[in-house]
């Protein structure tokens, strides 16, 4: 049964390796492109079952077993034919689907009640995502609802330079109850994660995909239990899934995905209430406290006649305690409109703008843990929009898109829907034309008009795909700085890295790898391409694969490695290159032949000479100096 345990200790790493090795990476693809999603089942109501007394309880090794029985959650016939009974779960394919969704479930042990979640558990989840990051296209975290927004907010900061979607979801009613919101929440999360490039930590609940660090739980009973009060949904899942790509917050730095697995625990929430005493405030602000989220009235106000309380904030700020002011209201933000807010600013309290309590608290824990930053830098970053958690300007609205409007007017198009559809046609064409023309100024202009830099054309290709074929490094770097995604696959299942490799643009490959790109798809298919290059003596192509961190011991379908093929075709320079990269020489193909056996059988004299001089190297699972 495809349920894998995750624990805090050694078993966590071992089970994650088992999950990766038993995913579908080593299998051939079907006729429809596939997306692979990892589900981290941490616990919560969504997977609970009722005991003999009718009480909901978490139960190990149940969720996958039951999911296999639900035809809308698992295509048993296809899965058995393709993978066997122990393979991943597979969503059924509908006529409108562009990708088949495969998903593995990593079950935590023990399963958590989310009210018991701690910072250690956030770190645990983040590290599991890190270990599996290159092997899956997206991640879904099944989580209890009570502290779900805290986890979503914390992960949004901890997962630095995130390039893939992470969706956290749960339910108010267990997924296996006859009337449950869990089925729709889970199913929609899987479909969105598999089909849409939204490189954010998100929350899906009801019919809305929301930015994780903008959400709060607003109801204990409603199926619409979460809301994003100060920011619109990133997507809505109705009959069609409608994504607001202009609202997506994309990383714009040339950095690789990383997990910041340290958090400062000396943080807290202090809510102002009538008649709060200065003694209580003073006690709260004493060491070891280092950061406080201050929840004030309205637009950031406290009683104006409470100099005793303000002096406590002033003294704490002087000691280096970072105090962040946010409103107690569900919507809106703090501002310096009123005198009490100004008094707080003068006392050293900084604005948290429109952050939720969950976002402000977890951001404080994240920022304060950055030992390389001094106090002033930390104060600065608390007021900086790091992951879309606070309003800093606004995304382009339809009224801003005067370029599209001008075309719409000439075509006598007036409806909002048609104008938005026109933008999805015009912008990819103009972006791609600017890439081919190497016109960086036009790329900047188009982004200013509201173009989504990762928008796809009809073949699913982005401007970055085109740039990686064209080979101009400056254009690629420009697109990456604008937030272009390195992970988007076109309709042929090719990423920008695939194009850079197959056009041998080595500097571009290195840049993409620096930004977190990695080879996608079946290992056998990658092995087949490397074998073709080795057979042709194409060392330049093999260097491209080397820069892309490929494994030169990877076999193709007949069990042969690139060294087998180079030996068979007597490609001496290729053999030397592969041997210099530590490729094992004793690897056997499906008929039991080593590279030397093939060279001797084919009469490849140079190959025989080179391989005969080489001590057999065992394939220990470490090749090219990589694990």
Give the contacts of 372 (CB within 8 A, at least 6 positions apart): none
Strand 56-57 relative to strand 89-90, pairing:
unpaired
Of residues 595, 560, 590, the one with CA closest to residue 579: 595
- Are residues 38 and 132 in contact, defined by beta-carbon separation less than 8 angstroms? yes
Instruction: Give the three-class secondary structure for 209.
Output: strand
- Are residues 267 and 364 in contact, defined by beta-carbon separation less than 8 angstroms? yes
Quote the CA–CA distance of 384 and 388 in Å, as a whole number: 9
45 has catalytic annotation: yes
Strand 165-169 relative to strand 138-142, pairing:
parallel
Dihedral sign from CA coordinates of 459, 460, 465, 466: positive
Residue 589, token pair as written in the block: 């193909």
Count the Cβ atoms, other than its own, within 10 Å of residue 341. 22
Residue 477, token pair as written in the block: 């770097």
What DSSP letter does each residue of 249-265 carry, written as one string? ----SS---EE------
DSSP alpha helix (H) spans, 369-415: 375-382, 402-410
Residue 607, token pair as written in the block: 């190959």
- Find the catalytic residue in 29, 42, 45, 623: 45
* Phi, psi angles (nearest 5°) of residue 481: -65, -25
Helices (H) and strands (E) in the chain, counts: 24, 20
Quote the CA–CA distance of 593 and 183 in Å, as a whole number: 50
| Interior/surface letters 205-230, b for 16+ CB within 10 angstroms, e for the rest | bbbbbbbbbbbbbeeeeebebbbbeb
Q: List active site positions.
A: 45
């Amino acid at each position: 049964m495809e349920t894998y345990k995750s624990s805090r200790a050694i078993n966590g790493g071992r089970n994650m390796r088992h999950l990766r090795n038993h995913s579908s990476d080593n299998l051939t693809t079907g006729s429809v492109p596939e997306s692979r999603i990892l589900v981290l089942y941490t616990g919560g109501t969504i997977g609970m079952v009722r005991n003999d007394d009718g009480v909901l309880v978490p139960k190990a090794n149940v969720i996958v077993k039951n999911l296999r029985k639900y035809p809308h959650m698992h295509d048993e016939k296809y899965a058995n034919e393709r993978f066997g009974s122990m393979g991943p779960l597979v969503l059924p394919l509908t006529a409108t689907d562009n990708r088949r969704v495969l998903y593995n479930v990593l079950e935590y042990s023990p399963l958590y009640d989310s009210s018991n979640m701690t910072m250690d558990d956030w770190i645990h989840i983040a590290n599991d995502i890190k270990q599996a990051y290159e092997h899956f296209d997206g991640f879904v975290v099944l989580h209890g609802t009570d502290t779900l927004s805290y986890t979503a907010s914390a992960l949004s900061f901890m997962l630095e330079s995130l390039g893939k979607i992470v969706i956290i979801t749960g339910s108010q009613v267990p997924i296996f109850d006859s009337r449950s919101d869990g089925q729709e929440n889970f199913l929609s999360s899987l479909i969105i994660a598999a089909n849409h490039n939204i490189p954010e930590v998100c929350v899906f609940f009801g019919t809305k995909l929301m930015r994780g660090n903008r959400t709060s739980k607003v109801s204990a009973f409603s199926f619409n239990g979460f809301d994003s009060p100060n920011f619109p949904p990133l997507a809505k899942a109705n009959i069609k899934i409608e994504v607001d790509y202009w609202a997506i917050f994309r990383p714009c730095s040339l950095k690789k995905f990383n997990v910041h697995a340290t958090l400062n625990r000396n943080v807290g929430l202090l809510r102002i209430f009538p008649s709060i005493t200065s003694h209580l405030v003073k006690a709260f602000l004493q060491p070891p406290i280092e950061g406080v989220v201050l929840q004030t009235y309205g637009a950031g106000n406290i009683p104006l006649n409470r100099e005793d309380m303000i002096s406590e904030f002033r003294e704490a700020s002087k000691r280096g305690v970072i105090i962040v002011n946010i409103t107690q209201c569900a919507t809106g933000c703090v501002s310096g409109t009123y005198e009490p807010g100004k008094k707080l600013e003068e006392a050293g309290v900084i604005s948290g703008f429109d952050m939720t309590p969950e976002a402000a608290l977890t951001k404080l824990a994240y920022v304060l843990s950055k030992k390389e930053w001094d106090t002033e830098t930390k104060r600065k970053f608390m007021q900086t929009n790091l992951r879309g958690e606070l309003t800093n300007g606004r995304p382009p609205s339809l009224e801003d898109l005067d370029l599209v409007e001008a075309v719409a007017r000439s075509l006598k198009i007036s409806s909002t829907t048609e104008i938005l559809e026109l933008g999805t046609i015009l912008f990819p064409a103009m972006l791609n034309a600017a890439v081919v023309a190497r016109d960086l100024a036009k790329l900047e202009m188009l982004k200013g008009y509201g173009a989504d830099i990762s928008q796809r054309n009809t073949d699913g290709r982005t401007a970055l795909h085109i740039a990686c074929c064209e080979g101009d490094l400056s254009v690629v770097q420009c697109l990456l700085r604008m937030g272009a995604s390195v992970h988007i696959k076109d309709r042929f299942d090719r990423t920008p890295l695939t194009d850079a490799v197959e056009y041998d643009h080595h500097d571009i490959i290195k840049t993409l790898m620096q930004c977190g790109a990695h080879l996608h798809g079946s290992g056998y298919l990658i092995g087949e391409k490397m074998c073709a290059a080795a057979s042709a003596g194409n060392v330049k192509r093999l260097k491209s694969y080397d820069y892309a961190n490929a494994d030169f011991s990877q076999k193709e379908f007949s069990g042969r490695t690139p060294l087998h093929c180079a030996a068979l075709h007597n490609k001496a320079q290729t053999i030397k290159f592969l041997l210099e990269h530590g490729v094992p020489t004793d690897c056997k193909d499906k008929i039991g032949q080593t590279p030397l056996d093939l060279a001797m059988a084919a009469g490849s004299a140079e190959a025989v000479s080179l391989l005969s001089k080489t001590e057999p190297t065992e394939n220990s699972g470490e090749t090219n100096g990589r694990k």
